[in-house]
Every structure is written in C-alpha cells, then in structure tokens.
A = this chain, B = another copy of it.
Amino acid sequence: MASSLANSLVITGGRRGLGAALAQELVSALAPARLVLTARSVDQTFRSQWPAATLVEADLGSAGGVERAALSIGEVVAAAPHRHGAVWDAILVHNSGSLSPLGEIGQGMVGAGAGSGPADLAKNVFDSVSASSQLNIASFAALTAAFVDSASRRPAGLPRSLVLNVSSLAAIQPFSSWGVYCAGKAFRERLMSVLAAEQAELDGGGRVVAFSYAPGPLDTDMQLELRSSERVSKGVRDAMAAAHREGTLVSPAASAGAIARQVAAGPSALAGLGDGLRADYFDLVPQR
C-alpha cells in the first residue's frame, strides 16, 4: 500500500504464533511509521526479520518487563510522525498471554506430585493464579493505562488510537478445565468495555477505541498444549485433537489477516462490527 495508515503499532508477544502473524498482517495492511514488538526473548533471527522495528525483550509477568515495554510504548507513541492519510494514530495489540494454570477446579489444577491437603492445594492455586494474573491481567491493565495516557497526549487533530485485545471464545463461553484462562479473558473484555465507556464520556468521544478480537481455534503451540495436557478435560482434548486431525483449525495468518483488514478500514468500520466491542474470527470470515 502506498500510504501509511497508522503512525505507530505495538504488538506484545510478537515473535511467535498469532503475534508474529499479526505483526506481518498489520504491518502489511497499515504500513505503520513506527513499530514496537515485545517478546520474552529477542534473538538474532527475530532482529533480522524486523530490522527497522524497536524490539523489546520483556517478560510481561514481571514489573521490570512491564516498565521496559511501557517506556518503549510511551517513547514511540509520543515521537511517531503524523503521516498523511493515517486512519489510526497509535495501535496497541495485546497478544501475549498464557493458558496456565489448566485443570478442573479442585485437585485438577495442581500436579499429581503436589501436596493434597486443602492448605497445600490452596497455596498452589493461589501462587499459580497470582502468576497468571500478573501476565494476563496486570500487565494488560498497566500497558493499556500507559498507552491511553500517551495516546491522549498526542496533538489534537490526529486520528484515534486503538487498543486491540486478543481475546477468545473462552471469554464468553465456559470450557471445562480452562477456568482461569476463560476468566482471565472475561476480565480483559470487561476492562475493554469500561475503557470504551470512559472514552465515550470524553469530549468528542475520546481519543482511544477499545476492541476485543477472538481469533478462532488457532493451529499454534497453545492448541498443542490444549490437546496434549493431561490437565485438560477429555472432552476438550478430544475436540481439539479432532479439529487438528481434520484440518479445521484456523491458521494464524488467516485469522490475523481477517482482523487486519477490519482495522485497516478504520474506526468506523470497527465500531460497526458486532456490538462495537468484540468480534470473532467466524463473524469476519463466515464458514461455508
């Protein structure tokens, strides 16, 4: 595409799986003037793929990693040029996340070797849910807050900015043995709906658009974990294995491409999807 459609683009967990596909497809569709990708580890291969990008090595389950990512986000959003023809100013894509702890609520959530008394069980679940919440919830809130602040300080007259939350069908539908994942995605979608409500109360409808995207059942490492973990309930494991065998999983490129096209169409197009707050891959690409 000839014209730049976004002034800056940030993607967390941009090295592998859906994050890598989102980087490819969003860069292709939006030609952002500035690009930030975070990853748990940044190696030479990753660098050679994105020579012009700011690559941030950050574990978003830790305060230090979140600070480092926020610093880059703030700098890049603030300094991004005001490109002619941009439909978005800044875009933050929350892609990074984890499945753990998997397991049915009760002893299913801890390994067979763990102590089995109620105190041991509670301690184990408390620690694993606390760690999961730091990565999937606290870093999500923290980077959203820093991004909203940075985007709100940009000069008047620029287009809106976007927080795109990579969500899941699990945010709105319960899956056995995936409770903490389902609940974490519900947390994120709810925070997005509050952000949308807060922005709607501001002059001119605010500077930031909040949107959640459920990318469909993807053929990624996360799926591999779901169909092979002993902690996943048999029903879910069998369904995932069948989907893999029958080739009905969605490729990361196809799912990333579908949302990239909607994002490239601009704020009004996104607001027209579903209830204006979330869309599922299967809404965007109806199946035959």
Contacts and interface: CB of A to CB of B under 8 A. Distances in A.
Contacts of A144: 105
A134 interface: yes
A104 B178 contact: no
Contact of A70 (B122, B146, B179, B188): B122
Contact of A133 (B133, B147, B148, B152): B133
> Chain A, interface size: which category?
35 or more
Contact of A130 (B71, B138, B180, B183): B138
Secondary structure call for the A interface: helix
Contacts of A235: 201
A183 B188 contact: yes
Interface stretch (A192-200, A214-222, A248-256, A260-268): A192-200
A191 B176 contact: no
Given A105-B148, A187-B183, A129 B122 contact: no
A175 B201 contact: no
A233 interface: yes
A282 interface: no
A86 interface: no
B126 A133 contact: no
A96 to B, nearest CB: 14
A271 interface: no
Given A174-B193, A175-B197, A186-B187, A106 B142 contact: no
Contacts of A126: 63, 66-67, 134, 138-139, 141-142
B138 A133 contact: yes
A150 B118 CA distance: 7
Contacts of A125: 138, 141-142, 145-146
Interface of A: 63, 66-71, 73-75, 104-107, 109, 117-119, 121-127, 129-130, 133-134, 137-139, 141-150, 152, 171, 174-180, 182-191, 193-198, 201, 233, 235
Given A118-B146, A182-B193, 20 more contacts: A66-B126, A67-B122, A67-B123, A71-B118, A74-B119, A105-B144, A106-B149, A107-B145, A121-B145, A122-B143, A122-B146, A126-B142, A129-B138, A129-B142, A141-B183, A174-B193, A176-B198, A183-B187, A183-B190, A201-B233
